[in-house]
Amino acid sequence: MRRFILLPFLATLAVPGLALAQAAPNPPPAMQAPGTPPGPPVQGEHGHLAMEQKMHNRFNAANITHDGHLTLAQATAAGLKPVVKHFAEIDTAKRGYVTFNQVQAWHMDEMAKRLEKKAAELRAAG
């Protein structure tokens, strides 16, 4: 008699665990609109998407007005040192604020400069 009670009980404990184990991972979140809570980091090729999501999360956290515009004061208060140091370079329109896309474009430009320098060094080395 105990077998008939114990077996269904154990099955009910195992089913939720199996459902969780088979759950598909969430698809990568699209760029979020200003003011929306940040999503979980996403792992992409070589961590690029995860890094981008982390940068976006930090931008959103620093943007306390949730208007998509990060001022120098907000960047300073949030400790975004690269943005603070290069704010004038990033704010090409001289509006007194930067957007996430401007920060990301500046970051990519800086990466491209470093890669071009490294490529030139490799070419020179033969």
For the segment 64-105, what is each residue's pLDDT rounded down to a tens digit? Answer: 999 999 999 999 999 999 999 999 999 999 999 999 999 999
| Across 40-49, average pLDDT | 58
Let me know if residue 3 belongs to a domain.
no
DSSP string, the chain: -HHHHHHHHHHHHHHHHHHHHHPPPPPPPPPPPTTSPP------GGGHHHHHHHHHHHHHHH-TT-SS-EEHHHHHHHT-HHHHHTHHHH-TT-SSEE-HHHHHHHHHHHHHHHHHHHHHHHHHH-
Both structure tokens of 123? 């070419």
Residue 101's domain spans which residues? 67-126
Higher pLDDT, 123 or 4: 123
Domain assignment of residue 35, yes or no: no
Q: Give the predicted TM-score (pTM) of the model.
A: 0.60
Name the domain count of the chain.
1
Return the pLDDT at 46.
Answer: 56
In a domain, 99, yes or no: yes
* pLDDT for position 81: 95
Instruction: For residue 84, give both structure tokens.
Output: 């603070």
Give the span between the Cα atoms of 63 and 68, in whole angstroms.
Answer: 7
Is position 18 within any domain? no
Of 27 and 102, which is predicted with more confidence? 102
